[in-house]
Structure 1
Amino acid sequence: MSLYRHVRNKEEPVVLMADAAFAGFPPPRAVPGDGWRARLEASARAQWRLYGAHPWLAAAMNLNRPLLVPNGMRHIEWALTALEDLDLDANARMHAAISLFAYVRGQAVDREPEAVAERSSGVSGEQWMEAQQARMTTLLGNGTFPAFTAARADADLSPESLFRFGLTALLDGLAPRAR
């Protein structure tokens, strides 16, 4: 309770912690000649590393009631600056920057529950999936899910693979608008 003598409300420690976390993972430095796509990708990867180092942070962030943390806003500023020279109006640039931030946050939100589950059980996500193989074989064995069965055979569904795929798809989708 002595903490509350130093802060105004229970949200303030979260705001201070979030700002400190973002301070440790600033947007990357601009490299002359980098295009908008390379800059947005670099920003997304910095945020991905941030959420890896601070798994609690993704769940603490809220796009409807955002934490107004200067070091977090630097990522949005970075993205908006990367989009400045494109033929996008201010609304589209803001939507693109927020969409990128939301995508990374959304991919990272499972990191905290996974870290808690691994700590409490001593079983990694990969080990857990391996332990589910017999059940998965039974579930897929009756032919009810043929598309899933076929796609699953070669799929890398690691968090990093899902992040890379989605980031590429998001930036590919923005590219035609960014002319």
Structure 2
Amino acid sequence: MYKAPVEEIAFTLKHVAGMAEALDAGTFGELGEDLVDAILGEAGRFASEEVAPLGDAGDRQGSRLVDGAVKTPEGWRELYRNWIAGGWNGLTAPEAFGGQNLPHMLHVAAMEMWNSGSMAFALAPTLTMGAIEALEKHGTDALKATFLPKMVSGEWMGTMNLTEPACGSDLGVLKTRAE
């Protein structure tokens, strides 16, 4: 069973990636080491106790289309509800749209644990967080007002659409050979 290496990730984040210096310098406002530790601890608990136990079901069952509706693997609906309740979608999102406006380096550390627990589950929230960031940086005010509150809250999700023919990502047309 997966157990998130919270202490190692926290050490690396603070002392290798430079978060401790940034916290001391006030780079992240009032964010302190105690809150960073609490967030990492809860992200690790969530990854170890809630995400990882459902990873196998996700890999074996997969999502499927049944009578025109997408059915997720057993337990994933509740897992996603817990994800939303934990506010994980909004770690780095702007406060104006319901986010926590935390540093990206903290988000990357948490995502490492969730992806290790179950990449199949973590993929969808990762896409949503990327869409939130893209809209926040490049969207019009109208787009932001329409989409960001619902995406940050987890009510709506982002997707990835990269398999249009001839756009360079259609893997079905690639041919390889070993030499």
Give TM class, smaller chain: 0.3 to 0.5
Give TM-score scaled by structure 2 length. Answer: 0.33
When Rg is computed on C-alpha atoms for both structures, the one with the higher figure is 1
Higher percent of residues as helix = 1
Q: Indicate the structure whose relative CO is greater, using CA pairs within 8 Å and at least 6 residues apart.
A: 1
Give TM-score scaled by structure 1 length. Answer: 0.33
